[in-house]
């Protein structure tokens, strides 16, 4: 089974997909043969529809998507040349990267406060629910 809807994927898996570009986080249990890129692109579209997107973020996501495709191709074909392309793209990506962990920790603390709980478990909360709460916080000015 695979997470194909943004409202079903756990936040933990979503963060791992974004950070690592590792398709294994799309699977609920053990990997099955599916069109990973179609599913990944569908999840991205659902996220973008919900949260919007900047030009810089678009460029970052294109690079991350290309890295994921190359990793999948390398795993399927054994073509080690793709590892060089992956490293080049990862270097390009570093030009955009900032440490998102402090921002995520701050967001998670805000969500916990807004929900009147002490902790948000990213393995239990769904990504769509989490980002929906963030939208509510932002629209009400409860920062």
State the residue for tokens 């795993």: 75
Q: Where are the alpha helices (DSSP H) in 2-126?
A: 11-20, 36-51, 55-77, 81-94, 101-115
C-alpha–C-alpha distance, residues 135 and 118, integer Å: 20
Across the chain, what does the average pLDDT equal?
84
pLDDT higher than threshold 80 for residue 30: no
CB proximity list for 123: less than 8 A, separation 6 or greater: 10, 11, 12
pLDDT in tens, 80-116: 999 999 999 988 888 776 666 667 888 889 999 999 9
Q: Which two tokens stand for residue 70?
A: 């190359």
């Amino acid at each position: 089974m695979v997470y194909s809807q943004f409202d079903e994927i756990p936040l933990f898996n979503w963060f791992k997909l974004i950070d690592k570009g590792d398709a294994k986080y799309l699977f609920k249990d053990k990997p099955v043969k599916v069109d990973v890129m179609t599913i990944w692109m569908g999840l991205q579209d659902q996220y973008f529809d919900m949260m919007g997107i900047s030009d810089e973020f678009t460029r970052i996501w294109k690079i991350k998507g290309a890295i994921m495709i190359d990793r999948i191709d390398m795993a399927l074909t054994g073509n080690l040349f793709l590892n060089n392309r992956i490293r080049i793209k990862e270097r390009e990506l570093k030009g955009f990267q900032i440490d998102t962990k402090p921002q995520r920790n701050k967001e998670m603390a805000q969500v916990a406060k807004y929900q009147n709980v002490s902790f948000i478990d990213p393995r239990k909360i769904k990504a769509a629910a989490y980002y929906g709460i963030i939208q509510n916080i932002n629209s009400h000015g409860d920062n």
